[in-house]
């Protein structure tokens, strides 16, 4: 009898069906996210094969309710961070995609000491509309709230606010590669008054109108040159995360 149970369990694993087998009073199964059974009882577990490694395990925490048990580690369940620019010697290169014209400038800092070698930033001065872009793949699971953090410093000592604007658009499979962006959101930054000191600011909820799980998220960054600070805005990194 034991051999039959083990054989049935192995068959479930090899075929990756959504079926579950009984073990120790609970049931477990394996398959894709789409095969996660609609019905479950407390104690059931399911290993999802088509998600990021480390985020595979789901448990039934209430009748017919699955909860992801792995992948969060107490922090964000989905996260992407992009370094705005990098230095190779004294030559700076952008970490974001830039257009052929009207773009912010990747710049190597000249501030160096024992613990701080030259670092790069993506710089927006206070003139004209300059854009930077990039694309992320959204999570496989249903979208919740996605937050954005930026690390920014400034070229001067003014503590007047600077404003970075972010606009989003999603690209569907087979859809246009030149989508219409949602209305831009403002990320208001208050410098601390010391040249080069990075300040981290969070936008609590990114606009995701027209977006679904597994789609490509295109974002555009621009500076609002009407802000109250005429110094150069220097972007260090940008981070997207969902809890």
Tens of pLDDT, residues 37-62:
888 888 888 888 887 777 788 888 88
Tens of pLDDT, residues 172-206:
877 777 889 999 999 999 999 998 889 999 999 99
Task: Please give the share of the chain, as a percent, with pLDDT higher than 70.
Answer: 80
> Would 204 be classed as within a structural domain?
yes
* DSSP conformation letters of 128-192: S--EEEEEEEPPSSPP--EEEEEEEEESSS--S-EEEEEEEEEE-TTS-SSPPPPPPEEEEE---
Out of 68, 87, 116, pick the residue that ends a domain: 68
> Would 84 be classed as within a structural domain?
yes
Identify the pLDDT of residue 98. Answer: 97
Identify the pLDDT of residue 83. Answer: 94
> Would 43 be classed as within a structural domain?
yes
User: What is the C-alpha separation between 241 and 75, in angstroms, rounded?
Assistant: 9
Domain count, the chain: 2
Tens of pLDDT, residues 73-94:
444 478 899 999 998 878 899 9
User: What is the C-alpha separation between 152 and 129, in angstroms, rounded?
Assistant: 18
- Domain harbouring 124, CATH code: 2.60.120.260
Q: Are 56 and 89 members of one domain?
A: no
* Contact (CB, 8 A) for 35 and 18: yes
Q: Are 167 and 185 members of one domain?
A: yes
Tens of pLDDT, residues 202-238:
999 999 999 988 889 999 999 999 999 999 999 999 9
0.85 cut: is pTM over it?
Answer: no
- Residue scoring higher pLDDT (96 or 64): 96
Average pLDDT, rounded, for the chain = 83
Overall residue count recorded for the chain in this entry = 243
Q: Are 32 and 82 members of one domain?
A: no
Which helix H or strand E contains 3, and what residues bound it? helix 2-15
- Please, which residues have CB within 8 angstroms of residue 15's CB and are 6 or more apart in sequence? none
* Contact (CB, 8 A) for 43 and 26: yes
Q: Are 99 and 189 members of one domain?
A: yes
Q: Are 82 and 169 members of one domain?
A: yes
The helix, strand and coil proportions of the chain, stated in percent and rounded to the nearest 5, come to 5, 45, 50
Out of 22, 44, 68, pick the residue that ends a domain: 68
> Would 73 be classed as within a structural domain?
no
Q: In a 3-state reduction of DSSP, which class is residue 10?
A: helix
Nearest partner of 139 among 55, 40, 222, 202, judged by Cα: 55
| Weakest-pLDDT range from 11-15, 105-109, 202-206, 236-240 | 11-15
Q: Are 209 and 236 members of one domain?
A: yes
Cα 61 to chain centroid distance, Å, stands at 27
> Would 198 be classed as within a structural domain?
yes
Q: Is the pLDDT of residue 123 over 50?
A: yes
User: What is the C-alpha separation between 211 and 169, in angstroms, rounded?
Assistant: 7
Q: Which domain holds residue 51?
A: 2-68
Task: Please give the share of the chain, as a percent, with pLDDT higher than 90.
Answer: 49
User: What is the C-alpha separation between 237 and 242, in angstroms, rounded?
Assistant: 17
Nearest partner of 141 among 8, 38, 52, 10, judged by Cα: 52
Out of 68, 94, 125, pick the residue that ends a domain: 68
Q: Are 176 and 102 members of one domain?
A: yes
Q: Is the pLDDT of residue 11 over 80?
A: no
- Please, which residues have CB within 8 angstroms of residue 141's CB and are 6 or more apart in sequence? 33, 51, 68, 213
Cα 210 to chain centroid distance, Å, stands at 17
């Amino acid at each position: 009898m034991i051999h039959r149970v083990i054989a049935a369990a192995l068959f479930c694993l090899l075929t990756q069906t959504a079926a579950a087998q009984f073990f120790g009073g609970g049931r477990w199964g394996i398959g894709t996210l789409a095969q996660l059974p609609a019905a479950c009882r407390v104690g059931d577990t399911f290993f999802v094969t088509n998600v990021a490694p480390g985020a595979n395990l789901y448990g039934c925490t209430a009748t017919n309710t699955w909860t992801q048990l792995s992948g969060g580690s107490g922090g964000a369940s989905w996260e992407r961070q992009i370094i705005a620019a990098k230095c190779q010697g004294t030559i700076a290169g952008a970490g974001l995609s830039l257009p052929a014209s009207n773009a912010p400038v990747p710049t190597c800092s000249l501030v160096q000491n024992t613990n701080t070698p030259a670092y790069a930033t993506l710089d927006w001065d206070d003139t004209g509309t300059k854009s930077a872009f990039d694309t992320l793949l959204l999570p496989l699971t249903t979208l919740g709230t996605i937050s954005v953090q930026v690390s920014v410093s400034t070229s001067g000592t003014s503590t007047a606010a600077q404003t970075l604007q972010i606009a989003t658009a999603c690209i569907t499979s087979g859809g246009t590669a030149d989508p219409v962006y949602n209305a831009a959101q403002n990320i208001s930054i208050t410098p601390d008054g010391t040249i080069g000191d990075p300040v981290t600011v969070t936008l609590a909820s990114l606009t995701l109108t027209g977006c679904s799980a597994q789609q490509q998220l295109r974002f555009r960054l621009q500076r609002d040159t009407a802000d109250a600070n005429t110094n150069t805005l220097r972007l260090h990194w940008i981070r997207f995360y969902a809890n």
